Amino acid sequence: MKLIFEKSVPGREGYSLPADQFEEIPLESCIPKEFQGKKRELVEVSEVEVVRHFTRLSKLNYGIEDGLYPLGSCTMKYNPKVSEHLAVLDRFVLAHPFAPADLVQGSLKLIHDLGVMLGRITGMDAYTLAPAAGAHGELTGVLIIRKYFEDQGERRIKMLVPDSAHGTNPASSAMAGYRVVELKSNQEGTVDLEELEKAMDSQAAGLMLTNPNTVGKFDPRIDRIAAIVHERGGLLYYDGANLNATLGLLRPGDTGFDVVHLNLHKTFGTPHGGGGPGAGPVGVKEFLRPYLPSPVVVFDGEKYRLRDPGEKSIGMMRAFVANFSVLLKAYAWILSLGPEGLREASEAAVVNANYLLVKLRDHFRPAYGGYCAHECVLTGRDYKQHGIKTLDIAKRLMDYGYYPPTIYFPHFKPYAEETLMVEAPESEGKEVIDDFIAAMIQIAGEAESEPGLLLEAPRSTPIRRTDDVLAARRPVLHYDDELKLKAGE
Amino acid sequence: MTPQELLYTEEHEWIEPGKSPARFGISDYAQGELTDVVFVELPEEGAEFAKGEVIATLESVKATSDVYAPADGKIAAVNSDLEDNPQKINEDPYGDGWLVEIEISDPAPLEELMDYEAYRKYLDNRDE
């Protein structure tokens, strides 16, 4: 398939602009020389060519609307179309971010009420809905912790992060100025209490925990973990990446967490992927409320207002209030399910993952024993003897029409094991999961009898196996690079 | 030194015994598991590390792996050639693919490391 650049024909136009009513001024006369840069060649194509090009590309795409998206750790669930419908209503879409509060009472009420609902769901006292993504929420949460300790006059320079944590936790801690200390997990894949006891000293600000963690294991000793962190004066941070396992079943606030962040684009029925938009609300216990970022929505008994939380606030984390359309979809999703429905969603997600685990464990030996939460970690270890890597298994799944699961993650043990992390959220029915299981078992058979099928996979996609190593070592990031590569430069 | 003369950690790093500064790198098994290294993040010369701290980060298309300090010490030299030629870690993990030289300040933890034979047994007993 040709790139749009290769379809360019000099002089071809896609659109005729009306005659210019203003006098023409040379560009050089209004932009200082040092900012002028080099003239770029723009693509010259007709409208129909543009439409066909991008329609063709869109047909090559694979999304949740094509089929199962078993990407473990990402919670790729189907999101109801009714929420999308609500999010494009004029009354929301046309609300200007600078509109006076009196004119957008409905929008402000929605932000306020969603914060209250998330508080009830997670057992936290106050929420900010400002963070624009999960990692942004993490940074917000860790900055709140940092400001709190500064206020207490305590110097704590480390943040503890288990190796089973969500991958962005170390980066967020480092961004907030902490030295990251990694805690190694025990054989069961959960927090090693002895390691925690050793690391949680007066220099540690706290522990960032994902529970259930990235191997899909719920840490049953969360009460002991919270006690150790709190006894030493630290705070406990909850990464909401895996909240989809415990909605309505267990509230992080009740298990000792002081700060939580959620991913509305994972757990709460708003689209995930494609670079956003997302939303990563942060909830805190009462004593941390003054540190929330600005602005917060308050209700004075009569009207909803945007307020600065005061001098202890960590300040603004983004321009304007929030990714509003994401909040709107999450709000609609929560209301449409209700408390019972939320619990049933998590129960179904956990049942789905365990069904997969039990049906596939004889073919893809699980990384850890026992049952799992909302995702399971299988391995392709047994096929190494046939010269098959887990990567080959994942690529072969594409030939069966599936998006491959997460592979080689988490890498707990040094040098990633042959892991396959599978998640089938509650929006997937038994028939869909059975089909996926059948494909996986078929591939397991091929690995033994006809490994070539896996080594050559994918065979059915427009582009076959890519050279990942070359792409990483010599990335082609724009068309000029492509031209240079072709010219052999 | 030859692989037979080196000491090994459970995290698949090797270090030269009885020397300071001592050369330090990752084992052949580690480079094989990691697959083609595409990016290397090495410490600054003179940087100090406590045992168990992340001393370097190796990135392949499969995973990003941390490399841990085997003992307390200071970085005496860095194999900066790896920045442009990370594949040397795969091609020659015990030779040109060395990562850093460490001036060991407390050699005690090195006594607990495995010799070549013990490391080979350790690899054989891994659950693969």
d(CA A269, CA A86): 13
Q: A44: Cβ–Cβ under 8 A, 6 or more apart, which residues?
A: A8, A9, A10, A11, A12, A13
B33: closest CA of chain A, how far (Å): 6
pLDDT tens-digit map of A458-475: 999 988 999 988 888 888
Rounded to an integer, what distance in angstroms lies between the CA atom of residue A396 and that of residue A402? 9
**Sign of torsion, CA A336 A340 A346 A350?**
negative
Long-range Cβ contact pairs of A86-94 (< 8 A, separation 24 or more): A86/A328, A86/A329, A86/A332, A87/A325, A87/A328, A87/A329, A92/A324, A92/A325, A92/A328, A93/A325
* Yes or no, beta carbons of A415 and B30 under 8 Å apart: yes
Q: How far, in Å, CA of A259 to CA of A256, rounded?
A: 9
**Which domain, by its residues, includes B98?**
3-124
Closest CA to A260 of A273, A269, A251: A251
Q: Among A318, A336, A354, which residue terminates a domain? A: A336
Contacts of B59 in chain A (CB under 8 A): 472
Q: Are residues A13 and A100 in the same domain?
A: no
pLDDT for A487 beyond 90: no
Please tell me if residue B48 touches chain A, with a CB cutoff of 8 Å.
no
Query: 3-class DSSP state for residue B90?
Result: helix
Residue A415 has its nearest CB partner, among B33, B36, B54, at: B33
Let me know: does A245 contact A218? Beta carbons within 8 Å: yes
Give the Cα separation of A167 and A24 in Å (integer). Answer: 52
pLDDT of residue A166: 81
**CATH code where residue A344 lies:** 3.90.1150.10
Assess whether A12 and A147 both reside in one domain: no
Instruction: Specify the CATH number for the domain of residue B62.
Output: 2.40.50.100
Chain B residue with Cα closest to A467: B61
Tell me which chain A residues have a C-beta less than 8 angstroms from the C-beta of B64. 411
pLDDT (0 to 100) of residue B63? 83
Q: Measured between CB atoms, does B118 come within 8 Å of chain A?
A: no
Task: State the total domains in chain B.
Answer: 1
Interface test with A, best of B12, B26, B31, B33 (most A CBs within 10 A): B33
Residues 59-88 of B with CB under 8 A from A: 59, 61-66, 86
Chain B residues with beta carbon closer than 8 angstroms to that of A381: 128
A415·B63 Cβ contact <8 A: yes
Give the chain B residue nearest A390 (alpha carbons). Answer: B62
Compute the nearest-CA separation of B48 from chain A (Å).
14
pLDDT score of A387: 93
Is the pLDDT score of B128 beyond 60?
no
Q: Give how far A195 is from chain B: nearest CA, Å.
A: 12
pLDDT above 90 coverage of chain B, percent = 77
| Residue A476 confidence (pLDDT) above 60 | yes
Which positions 143-182 of A are in contact with B (Cβ < 8 Å)? 182
Residue A300 is assigned to a structural domain of this protein: yes
Which chain A residues are within 8 Å of B39, Cβ to Cβ?
472
Has residue A65 been placed in a domain? no
- State the nearest Cα–Cα gap between A469 and chain B, in angstroms: 6
Any idea which residue has 């473990």 for tokens?
Answer: A72
Instruction: Indicate the pairing of strand A204-210 with strand A282-284.
Output: unpaired
pLDDT in tens, A160-181: 999 888 879 999 999 999 999 9
The model's pLDDT over B58-101, given as tens digits with 9 standing for 90+, comes to: 999 888 888 999 999 999 999 999 999 999 999 999 999 999 99
d(CA A272, CA A266): 6
Residue B119 with chain A: CB contacts under 8 Å: none
Model confidence at A414: pLDDT above 90: no
Residue A435 has pLDDT above 80, yes or no: yes
CB contact under 8 A, B30 and A469: no
Instruction: Give the mutation candidate from A415, A419, A466 for the B interface (greatest B CB count, under 10 A).
Output: A415
- Nearest-Cα distance to chain B for A438, in Å, is 25
Whether residue A409 and residue B62 make contact (CB cut-off 8 A), yes or no, is no
| A62 occurs within a structural domain | no
A382 touches chain B (CB under 8 A): no
Tokens, residue A151: 């206020």
B34 contacts chain A (CB < 8 A): yes
Contact A472 B38 (CB under 8 A): yes
Query: Token match 């259930």: residue?
Result: A212
Domain total of chain A: 3
Residues A329 and A348 in one domain: no
* A180 Cα to chain B: minimum distance (Å): 10
Provide the angle, in degrees to the nearest 10, between the axes of the packed helices A430-449 and A324-360. Answer: 50
Q: Is B111 left (phi over 0), alpha (psi -120 to 50) or beta?
A: alpha
Q: In this model, does residue A147 exceed pLDDT 70?
A: yes
pTM for the whole structure: 0.89
> What is the interface size between A and B, counted as CB pairs within 8 Å?
40
Q: What is the mean pLDDT of residues A404-429?
A: 85
Please state, in angstroms and rounded to a whole number, the distance separating the CA atoms of residues A186 and A208: 17
Mind listing the pLDDT tens digit for each residue in A369-409?
899 999 999 999 999 999 999 999 999 999 999 999 999 88
Q: pLDDT digit string (tens) for A279-307? A: 999 999 999 999 999 999 999 999 999 99
- Tell me which of A276-280, A324-328, A353-357 is least confident: A276-280
Is residue B46 pLDDT above 90, yes or no?
yes
The answer to whether the Cβ–Cβ distance between B39 and A414 falls below 8 Å is no
When mean pLDDT is compared over A258-272, A343-357, A454-468, the highest value belongs to A343-357
Domain carrying residue A159: 82-336
Exposure of B101 in the CB half-sphere (CA atoms within 13 A): 11
pLDDT at residue A75 greater than cutoff 80? yes
How far apart are the C-alpha atoms of A264 and A129, rounded to whole Å? 10
User: What distance in Å separates the CA atoms of residue A23 and residue B93, rounded to the nearest whole number?
Assistant: 67
**A117 and A168 belong to one structural domain:** yes
Indicate whether A291 and A358 sit together in one domain. no
Task: Look at B39 and A472 and tell me if their CB atoms are within 8 Å.
Answer: yes
